[in-house]
Structure formats: structure tokens, C-alpha cells
Amino acid sequence: MHVISTSSKVNNSEHLIEVKGLVKYFPVLSRGIIRTKRIGWVHAVDNVSFHIDEGETLGLVGESGCGKTTLARTILYLIPPTSGTVYFDGENVFEVFKSGDKSKIMELRRKMQILFQNPYTFLDPRMTVKEILSEPFEVHGVLDKEKITDAVFKLLDMVGLEPYHADRYPHEFSGGQRRRISIARALALEPKFLILDEPVASLDMSIRSQILKLLIKLQQEKKLTYLCISHDLNSILHVSDRVAVMYLGKFVEIADVETIFKKPAHPYTKALISAVPVIDPKTGRERIILQGEVPSAINPPKGCRFHPRCPHTKDICKKREPQLVEIEKGHLCACHLVSG
């Protein structure tokens, strides 16, 4: 079993976020009458490395259950990692949390925020919007009481809501408005890095585009850095500078958004891209239908994890795991049949 890395406290890299060899396994337990036994591990995130530069948006795409949300929560230490390292602005995030230093932990929590997938679950239905938006200031003690109301009105204005919305409860809003309240809350403490977990899931098309536009506008105004997670490649392509494709706990391809869209190299990415609707039918793009379901992360397939569903599987794919290698500048792919 892996142990948490003891790598250095400070990293000299110029990237705002640097993730190195991140692993998160969950135990699979069998409960007997007398005792509970561990009978395996769910390989939710398996040796993932990447970076995000300041002001950049990295899109992270993959089917449901591929480990995207676990990766996001592990980066923020909302769930502890099995091994690996995350640096934020040169600081080792896991070391800070393990140190128990409350002021440093609060500072990291302020700078690294997450916009949770479902606003219903984290906007308390018994609290007014004013109370919801005041809470981060109160918990972190960053504003005097008399200044908090002004700050709440500024947040509402920032996300396109009106001052009178402050006295209403979450159930009185539409899905799009609730998403705006979540964004206001996530940005209340002026973070530098924001994880967007399915930011437009279950919204209508026109509302999706409004929310994505708002997120892009706020990123430019506040120089934010985003990790945007979605199973919907269409949304990812709209907001991202680069895209990482995840399959069964591993990254299989990373490239800038244009390369991923026009020249995907990995067979899984090609299948995802082929499902994105195109306006011009002359592109001649054929839909690739993948066979079967995503295999279980408890016993991932040997060799290339994608081989049971890949239309190009060779013998080597079943025996040897392909590594994520640079096939051209800034374009990484993990496939035996793709080389630079």
C-alpha cells in the first residue's frame, strides 16, 4: 500500500498548481459478524501528475465514475490522499494540512475554493442568501460585522443578482440563480484557485451559456485559475485553455483545447470528441460508439485500462500499461500505438 509522500515543503516551479503522482485508493470492506475485512481497493485516482498555470483553465473530462471528483477533493485535502504531492503557489498543500497549523490551513482554504456540483446540497435551505454569503466572512473573521452586509451586496452584484435577493431562501430561486449564489459564495474570500465541479450540470442550454460566460468574465476580472471538471466535453471546450482526459483513474491525454478538438490522439478522446455536435456537417466526422461499460475501478484491467473497449487493441495493450508521454510540444498521450 502506498504511503503519503514526504517530499519537500516548497516547490520552485512557476506553476500555480502542480500535482505529482497523486494516488487515492478507497478500501473495499466486507463486514462479517465478528470483524470487518478489507478485500480490495477502489483505484479512484492512480498516479496522476499535471500542472495549471496562473490565470489558466484546465478542463478535466471523462465519463461519470472515472475519478474526476475524487481528484478535485483530494487536491483540496477534503479527502486525504493515499500518496503524491500537490503544490499551490510553491507550497506543499498536504504538508500544511498534516502540520495542523490552523492559520496556514485557513489561509489555504481561502485561496483554494471549490464550486460544488449540486447547489441544493450545500446551500442550507434554512438560511437566507444574506446568511449564506455572510458565513465565509464570519468563519474566517476577515471583515468587521458592519462591513459584511456591504460585502454581501457587492457579491450579489458581481454575479448578476439584485440586493432584494439577499432576504430570500435558496428554494425561491431558479437553478441558474442558485448557481450564481454558489459562485458568489465560492468567490467571497477572493481565492486564487477555484475548482468548478460540473458547473453547469442539469441547467438548460441557454442558462449554461450564461453561467459559463459569467465564469469567464470573473476569471478575467479577478485573475482566477480554474480546474473545470465535467463529463460534458462541449462545456469544457468553451471555457478551457488546455484539456486533460481521464479514464478509470488515469490521465490518458492532455493538450491545448484546439489540439484536443482537431487532432485528438488517444482512441478514447477520439470517441468523446466524435460525440460533440458540430454545426458544419461537411467536417465529415464520424461518431465512434464505444462498446461496453467503464470497467470496475476495484479490479482495473491489466495493461491499458481502456483495452476492453478500444477498437484498436493489440496484444501489447493487454500486457503493458502505456505511459503518458509527450508526442509533440505540450501534447501528452498514453497509448502504445501513438508516438511522437
Q: Which of 161, 197, 155 is nearest to 64 (CA)?
A: 197
Q: Give 263 or 314: the residue with its C-beta nearer to ligand SF4.
A: 314
Residue number, 206 or 339, with CB nearest to ligand SF4: 339
Count of beta carbons in the 10 Å neighbourhood of residue 200: 25
Backbone φ, ψ for residue 253 (5° rounding): -160, 140
Binds ligand SF4 by CB under 6 A, chosen from 143, 151, 276, 337:
337
Is 187 a binding residue for ligand SF4 by CB under 6 A? The answer is no
Q: Between 294 and 317, whose beta carbon lies closer to ligand SF4?
A: 317
182 vs 147: CA distance, rounded Å: 21
Binding track, positions 257-276, relative to ligand SF4; x by CB under 6 A: ---------xx---------
| CA–CA gap between residue 135 and residue 153 (Å, rounded) | 14
What is the distance in angstroms between the CA of the first residue and the CA of the last residue of the chain?
Answer: 34
Of residues 199 and 264, the one with the C-beta less far from ligand SF4: 264
CA atoms within 13 A on the CB side of 13: 21
Q: Under the criterion CB under 6 A, does residue 20 sit at the interface with ligand SF4?
A: no
CB of 159 closer than 8 Å to CB of 214:
yes
Cα gap 128→224, rounded to integer Å:
27
Shortest Cβ 14–ligand SF4 spacing (Å): 32
Q: How far is the CB of 249 from ligand SF4 (least distance, A)?
A: 14
Q: Which stretch binds ligand SF4 (CB under 6 A): 14-22, 178-186, 188-196, 309-317?
A: 309-317
Instruction: State in angstroms the smallest separation of the CB of 273 from ligand SF4.
Output: 14
Binding window for ligand SF4 (CB under 6 A); candidates: 153-161, 205-213, 226-234, 306-314:
306-314
Cα-based torsion angle of the residue sequence 307, 313, 319, 325 in order, rounded to the nearest 10 degrees? -80
Q: For the chain, give the longest Cα–Cα distance.
A: 69
Q: Which three cell numbers stand for residue 37?
A: 475485512
Does residue number 317 form part of the binding site for ligand SF4 (CB under 6 A)?
Answer: yes
Residue from 163, 312, 323, 326 in contact with ligand SF4 (CB under 6 A): 312
Taking CB under 6 A as the rule, which mask of x and - marks residues 54-83 in contact with ligand SF4? ------------------------------
Amino acid at position 12, single letter: N
Single residue of 44, 181, 310, 324 touching ligand SF4 by CB under 6 A: 310
Q: How far apart are CA 143 and CA 4, in angstroms?
A: 36
State the residues that interact with ligand SF4 by CB under 6 A.
266-267, 304, 306-307, 310, 312-314, 317, 322, 335-337
